[in-house]
Structure 1
Amino acid sequence: MLRSAITVSLVEEARGGPFVYWDGLENAFNDAKKLGYDAIEVFAPGPDAIPDGELQRLVESTGLKVAAVGTGAGMVKHGLSLTDPDSAKRTAAQDFVRSMIDFGGPLGAPAIIGSMQGRFGGEVSHEQALDLLAESLEALGPHAANYNVPLIYEPLNRYETNLIKTIAEGVAFLNRLSTDNVKLLADLFHMNIEEANVAEALRQGGDAIGHIHFVDSNRQAAGLGHTDFEPIASALRDIGYNGYLCAEAFPLPDSQTAAEKTIEAFNRLFR
């Protein structure tokens, strides 16, 4: 069954970014529960940013799940990248992702690698960067398997990465890995920029897709841009996708409206 989720950011360095909730974890859980969401996706500065037991308490008190945990603070706050030419910094980046896997794993929440994938350039060629990224995913994917969750890798648009930008490129990259515990995040905003046909790209991605960011063409809540979601919904039914559709959207015109618009669109399309 498809499930709804919504983002909350606890990273002040990322304020202004595309996360719906910004005013604390408990407020996010309570508001999402009132609106009928199934889960929360958490963007935290690190695994120690939330007091021990707090996330578990909120899961138990609201009945919501943790859909995923972001690792972007590794880049935004700590300047870490899995393709950094400095091996010590790559090791630190892997350690940060591993700590976030350990943070979300006990709650059944996979970690997402987005901005921490980095870029190629300078002394690192495209091929070398992909090799470095593959090396990290080969190590981190099996670690995530210890919690029976996948590691989620996100192709980004051309303005945010120059590595892997489309679902087809992502599938080809996963096929070169020996681990089978890495899945793709299909972000509809990035896809709107890079894909010729979003619905067909989802069909081609098939069971390689493990998570979806459910957002409109302008990175606002679903229904506030020009995306035609009907073909996308049809494609997701065709591939048998049964994971989360999570709102990673700007809180425009405000968090409440963005949350309401997203769940309205989700219910109309998938319930």
Structure 2
Amino acid sequence: MKLCYQVATPDVAISPAVTAFQGDLEYTFGSLGELGYDGVELMTLNPLQLDWDQVKKEAEKNKLDIALVCTGEIFGQLNLSFMDKDAEKRAEARKRVKEIIDFAAHLGAIINIGRVRGQFCNELPREVSYGYAIEAFKEISDYGGKKNVKIALENVTLMQTNFINTIEEAVKVVKDVDNEYFKIMMDVFHMNIEEKNMFEMIEKYAEYNIHVHLADNNRRYPGHCGLDFEKIINAFKQTGYDGAFCTEIFQIPDQETAARGAMEHLRPILNKIYK
């Protein structure tokens, strides 16, 4: 089990909308290491602009495991997705994700697929859009398999996309792709909105789950609002999950306060449950 915090690499434009700690890596990794985090999840946009060995060395220097590399800003800042009606944009989205797979392979991490999957649109029949997504998922899964990089499909609320909102929908897609390197991850913030009972989903689909995102129900740091994180983390523990728990939160009121607040709330819970 590792407690991780999301970090944006320097190629990601600084923005209050980014759900990650931002700055140069010496500062971000140093700050999170001092707070006692076990690892980080990287949010990157163009890994070819980064010195991969430097990223790895900075993490090792601060005793941080790199658990996952996030692909979200491929859509968030470039508006590229697997389901775009423009074939060139679909191809560019797949190319960008493959670059992130290469980066993750160098770091010994997995990747996730969030908003870059795209969504249904009025201009295309749903079966056509779904076909584009499955085609892309199969392509990147085959590529990831050759690099020994697993891919975690993220459930995302309907407020952000109209495709793959629930865990059950994510699992159906995983079954349609049918590749051992293509799994799901569970995002507690999105599950709290979309699932009738998130605890039933955690138990029912545990075999598919390889990563967990944590945020309170207002998407601020855990312990800031209404979710019972002891109950949530215990539910994952009861399924045998022993992977990374990573924050994906708004950096409110600022990233230093959010990182400290998340650590102060989550570390005692994790120590109690995973003793």
The question of a shared fold, defined as TM-score above 0.5 by the shorter chain, is answered with yes
**Aligned partner of 2:204: which letter?**
Q
**Aligned partner of 2:5: which letter?**
I
Q: Provide the secondary structure at the position in 2 that maps to 1:116.
A: helix
For the 8 Å contact 1:207–1:241, the answer to whether it is kept is no
Q: Write out aligned runs for 1:30-109 (5 A).
A: 30-109=30-109
Identity of aligned residues (%): 30
Q: Write out aligned runs for 1:145-224 (5 A).
A: 145-224=145-224
1:245 paired residue number: 245
Structure 2 unaligned residues grouped into runs of 5+: none
What's the offset of the Cα at 1:11? 5.4
Q: Provide the secondary structure at the position in 2 that maps to 1:53.
A: helix
1:135 paired residue number: 135
What's the offset of the Cα at 1:18? 4.5
Separation in structure 1 between the aligned mates of residue 265 and residue 128 of structure 2, nearest angstrom: 41
1:27 paired residue number: 27
Deviations 1:26-61 (A, max 9, x none): 211101111111111111221123224210221221
Structure 2 vs 1, CA of residues 231 and 200 (structure 1 numbering), >3 Å: closer, same or farther? farther
- 254-263 or 157-166: which moved more? 254-263
What's the offset of the Cα at 1:14? 6.2
What's the offset of the Cα at 1:156? 0.7
What's the offset of the Cα at 1:167? 0.7
1:120 aligns with 2:120: yes
2:3 paired residue number: 4
Q: Provide the secondary structure at the position in 2 that maps to 1:242.
A: coil
For the 8 Å contact 1:200–1:235, the answer to whether it is kept is no
**Aligned partner of 2:67: which letter?**
A
Structure 2 vs 1, CA of residues 14 and 81 (structure 1 numbering), >3 Å: closer, same or farther? farther
Structure 2 length normalisation: TM-score?
0.92
Q: Count residues in correspondence.
A: 270
CA RMSD of aligned residues (A): 1.6
Deviations 1:201-232 (A, max 9, x none): 11122121111111110000110010112321
**Aligned partner of 1:65: which letter?**
D
What's the offset of the Cα at 1:245? 0.7
For the 8 Å contact 1:11–1:43, the answer to whether it is kept is no
Structure 2 vs 1, CA of residues 144 and 12 (structure 1 numbering), >3 Å: closer, same or farther? closer
Separation in structure 2 between the aligned mates of residue 115 and residue 15 of structure 1, nearest angstrom: 17
Separation in structure 1 between the aligned mates of residue 41 and residue 212 of structure 2, nearest angstrom: 11
- 123-132 or 10-19: which moved more? 10-19
For the 8 Å contact 1:67–1:244, the answer to whether it is kept is yes
Q: Provide the secondary structure at the position in 1 that maps to 2:97.
A: helix
**Aligned partner of 1:104: which letter?**
A
What's the offset of the Cα at 1:160? 0.8
Deviations 1:159-212 (A, max 9, x none): 111011011111122111221211212111111111112222111221211111
**Aligned partner of 2:118: which letter?**
G
Deviations 1:96-152 (A, max 9, x none): 000000011121111211111111112223332222111111111122123323111
For the 8 Å contact 1:189–1:216, the answer to whether it is kept is yes
Separation in structure 2 between the aligned mates of residue 3 and residue 127 of structure 1, nearest angstrom: 39
Q: Provide the secondary structure at the position in 1 that maps to 2:81.
A: coil
For the 8 Å contact 1:40–1:66, the answer to whether it is kept is yes
- 81-90 or 142-151: which moved more? 142-151
Structure 2 vs 1, CA of residues 226 and 18 (structure 1 numbering), >3 Å: closer, same or farther? farther
What's the offset of the Cα at 1:19? 2.1
For the 8 Å contact 1:184–1:208, the answer to whether it is kept is yes
Q: Provide the secondary structure at the position in 2 that maps to 1:102.
A: helix
- 156-165 or 224-233: which moved more? 224-233
Separation in structure 2 between the aligned mates of residue 45 and residue 111 of structure 1, nearest angstrom: 13
Structure 2 vs 1, CA of residues 239 and 111 (structure 1 numbering), >3 Å: closer, same or farther? same
Q: Provide the secondary structure at the position in 2 that maps to 1:221.
A: coil
